[in-house]
Structure formats: structure tokens, C-alpha cells
Amino acid sequence: MNSVNQSLLPITAKIDEAGILHIGGCSTVDLAEKFGTPLYVYDEESIRNCCRQYKQAFAKYPKTNILFAAKAFMTSAICRIMHQEGLGLDLVSGGEIYTAVKTGFPMERTFLNGNNKSAEELEFALKAGVGRIDVDNFSEMELLDKVAKSINMKADVLLRITPGIECHTHDYIKTGHEDTKFGFDLSQLDEAVRLIKEKYLNINLVGLHAHIGSQIFETTGYIDLVGVLVDKLAEIREKFGITLTEMNMGGGLGIKYLESDDPPSIDELAEAVLGALDENLKKYNYPEPILYLEPGRSIVGTSGVTLYKAGSVKVVPEVRKYVSVDGGMADNPRPALYGAQYSAVIANKANQERTEKVTISGRFCESGDIVIRDITLPEIEFGDIICVFDTGAYNYTMSFNYNRVGRPAAVLVKDGKAEIIIRRETWEDLTACDVIPESLALPKAESKCAGCCACMG
């Protein structure tokens, strides 16, 4: 059986006799009508199924811990699902820590990553009981020791290293090559270990961490990464007499955005990683470490779709037909950021023949606001519901309020029931953080406040 990341659609997706797309037992057309558009729709069964596939695939190595990379989609409801499925969380900010704490997540199952953590975030992490902190550079090491000392605590850490491994993905989502902002260069590792051993006494070094990138379609990079990590663990043991007990190899497994995409399955990833781990541990006669993985996109990416309503049409004779939708780059920045490509259907015409090539454009004031360029669909009419697949990862978490447009709602669907997990932002939300200085206050005679939010007077 293929794993969820190898599917183009959520695993519950079906088309009924009328040609309407259903997800999680819910009509996407009904969802659009009830909750409005744009709308993020998440299939709970796909998410849970993927969590269980990861745990089952790596069950052969009982010391494996799966941490969901929260940056892919961080909400209170998702934290609760990850808790129920027995996963940990890979966090990268005070806001993500706060969300986990607020939902009652077991904080000993969390890691804090990031290349520029503030003193406030580090203190919050220690006091909240975050299980491990990945130290990214020398300045952060010094800061963490200072913060931990000031509150009389000791921080359990992994050192993030740059393994020097190139993976075939977009330059913006590569993280393991030498010229990157993340992690210690391998030539700096000895000095980092020495400083923790001799100077930074409020830091307890337990392991190494590395990450090679995102949307990866080959297992060879992971095999190479295991080799680098175990080699460095053995080198630290030899040079410093320290046997580190943990290794974190990040995440990055790709998903299927287009029919032509062919990512490895979760089982294939596990087979490659565990095979390389066994080989390298024997090579160096090194004791079995605790193994951490941090999948994000591959857990939630396929589960999510975005529903838009078709609006205005512009035809450039003999060039292109533009169909605008009521969302775009503010709810999905990925095409504008690095040319991400997607698949889509007309949700209310999902079984009709695809007869015309169109470009789906967004509503925002940028020429680069294109959702999908040159896709063949059935003839689109005003008000049709366009469903873009595989938008579960990074779309909501990277969304923003360009043109003062509120971010969409998100619903979780299962067994014919849809529940709000993120409410739609209102115009009031958009002005909630605005402050008008007294110097700009309207004179009393000019104030025409009608008691609503319209004039902010």
C-alpha cells in the first residue's frame, strides 16, 4: 500500500455521481457554501493515517521518536491530534511553544529548533519543560548557558551540524549544504563540544542534529546523513571520551504535488535510514542511540486542500485565459516564493472532461499572484468552486494579510462532519493591533463616529 505522501488527494477523497468532490465524507461544495471561501479543508483520517505509518515503518527500531515539524501547520487542534497519536513536536518559536503548552501537550516530547532564538524564547522553553534544545551556533550556545544559569536550570541540547550534503530540491529549502545559515560547520564541531565540556556548565550535551532540506525525492541523502552523524558521534567519543546517546536527522520527505511526482514512501525512507544506521553503528561499534525524525509536510501536506470561488475572467487573445479566484498569494505564498506547482479540479464538475487551458490567478495586487499557471480544466463559470490539492503544509503558516485581506478559515473533516479549527479573520481582526497616536486624533467637531468600526475615530 502506498503511503499518504504518495497520493495526490486526501485518502478519503471521492467523486459522487453528480461530479461533486467529497473529502472526509463532506461535499466540498457544501463546505464552501457553509464556511465561505477561501477555505482550508483538512482530512483528519489522512493526518492520523500518516502518523501511524511513520510509527509502524520505524517500529523495527524501538528507540525511534517521531516529532511533527509544527512549522508545517501549527494549530491547537493539530497539537491535540499529534498528542493522541503519540508523536512529539519540533518547535521553532515562542509562539509555537505557547500553543503547545496551551493545548496541554506533554512538553518533554518537544524540541526547540531555530537559528536565532531569543533569550525570552530560551527561558520560556526551559521553564515550560521543552525536552531538548537544538543549539545552532556559538552565540546561541553562550546565550543559552547564560539564560539557564540565571534561572538555575540545565539545558539538554543537541548540536545542529551542517553535514555538507546536497539534496535535489529548491535552493530556498535546502538546509544541509555547506553554505547555509543553519548549524555548525563540521570544522567547528570540536570547538563546540570543548566549550560545553569546559565552559558552558549549564548545558548538557546529549546528541547531534542535522537536516538536509525539504520536499526530498531521494533516499540517498538520508543514507549519507546517517553516515555523517554516526561518524561524528564516534569521533566525539574518541576525542572527548563522551558517548552521546541521541541523534536527530530532521525530516524533509517529499509529497506528490503533481501527477508526475514520485516521492519515496515512508516505508522506503525507514528501510534506507534503518539499514544505514545498522551498518554504521556496526562499523564504529557504537551503541544504539535514540533516533529522532522531524516530518512535517509529509504528515499534513496531502491531507489539506484549499477551496476557492471562481470570479472574473480575462482573455488575452491567442495568449492566455486568466480565471481569478477569491484568494491567492496571501493564503498560499509558495508559488510566488519558489515556483511551487499544484494540481486542481473544479469541485462541482470533478467528473467533467477537461477542455480548456487556463491560468488561475489570485486577487492580490501583484502580477506574480498566480495560483496555478496553464492547467487544463472543464470550462469554468462564475461561482464554480476550485479545489487546489496538497495545500496542507506551509500554506496557512506562511499566510499573511496583504491588501488587508483576512486569512481564511480552516475546517477538519471526518465521517461527514466538519469542524472549525481556525476561524476566518474579520475586518475587526485586521485593525485589532492598530494604534492611532494622540497627535493624529480627529478634533471633536470632525469626529463622526457612528459607534461602529468604520471610522476608528
pLDDT band at residue 175, thresholds of 50, 70 and 90? very low
User: Are both 110 and 157 inside the same structural domain?
Assistant: yes
User: Are both 318 and 279 inside the same structural domain?
Assistant: no
User: Are both 174 and 53 inside the same structural domain?
Assistant: yes
The domain boundary, picked from 256, 275, 300, lies at: 300
Residue 68 included in any domain: yes
Percent of the chain with pLDDT over 90: 91
Give, in degrees to the nearest 5, the angle at Cα 219 between 217 and 224: 130
pLDDT for residue 451 = 61
Residue 32 included in any domain: no
Interaxial angle between packed helices 94-102 and 119-128, expressed in degrees from 0 to 180 and rounded to the nearest 10: 20
Cell numbers for 157 = 541540547
Residue 88 included in any domain: yes
Residue 185 included in any domain: yes
User: Are both 295 and 335 inside the same structural domain?
Assistant: no
pLDDT for residue 443 = 87
CA distance 49 to 99: 23
User: Residue 260 belongs to what domain range?
Assistant: 44-300
Question: Is 445's pLDDT higher than 60?
Answer: yes
What mean pLDDT comes out for the span 408-425?
98
CA torsion, ordered 352, 357, 358, 360, to nearest 10 deg: 70
The domain boundary, picked from 300, 335, 365, lies at: 300
Q: Whose CA is closest to 386, among 418, 420, 413, 359?
A: 359
User: Are both 236 and 327 inside the same structural domain?
Assistant: no
Cell numbers for 280 = 554504521
CA distance 181 to 324: 37
Helices (H) and strands (E) in the chain, counts: 12, 21
Question: Is 256's pLDDT higher than 90?
Answer: yes
Annotated catalytic residue 50: no
User: Are both 84 and 196 inside the same structural domain?
Assistant: yes
Cell numbers for 384 = 464554480
CA torsion, ordered 431, 433, 439, 445, to nearest 10 deg: 40
Question: Is 434's pLDDT higher than 70?
Answer: yes
CATH code, domain with 172: 3.20.20.10
The domain boundary, picked from 300, 318, 349, lies at: 300
User: Are both 372 and 416 inside the same structural domain?
Assistant: yes
Phi/psi for 236 (5° steps) reads: -65, -40
User: Choosing from 365, 387, 449, 452, which is the catalytic residue?
Assistant: 365
pLDDT for residue 1 = 55
User: Are both 296 and 316 inside the same structural domain?
Assistant: no
Phi-psi category of 125—alpha, beta or left, where left has phi over 0 and alpha has psi -120 to 50?
Answer: alpha
Looking at the structure of the chain, the number of domains it has is: 2
Alpha helices in 17-118 (DSSP H): 28-35, 44-57, 76-84, 94-102
CA distance 162 to 185: 5
> Can you tell me which residue has the cell 464552501?
32
User: Are both 164 and 189 inside the same structural domain?
Assistant: yes
User: Are both 288 and 325 inside the same structural domain?
Assistant: no
Residue 322 included in any domain: yes
Cell numbers for 34 = 457553509
Phi/psi for 233 (5° steps) reads: -60, -45
- What are 286-335's pLDDT values in tens digits? 999 999 999 999 999 999 999 999 999 999 998 999 999 999 999 999 99
Cell numbers for 2 = 502506498
Residue 213 included in any domain: yes
User: Are both 391 and 279 inside the same structural domain?
Assistant: no
Question: Is 165's pLDDT higher than 90?
Answer: no
CATH code, domain with 312: 2.40.37.10
Question: Is 234's pLDDT higher than 90?
Answer: yes
pLDDT for residue 177 = 46
User: Are both 287 and 313 inside the same structural domain?
Assistant: no
Question: Is 224's pLDDT higher than 90?
Answer: yes
Residue 443 included in any domain: no
Question: Residues 69, 72, 73, 78: is their CA dihedral positive or negative?
Answer: negative
Question: Is 155's pLDDT higher than 70?
Answer: yes
pLDDT for residue 164 = 85
Residue 24 included in any domain: no
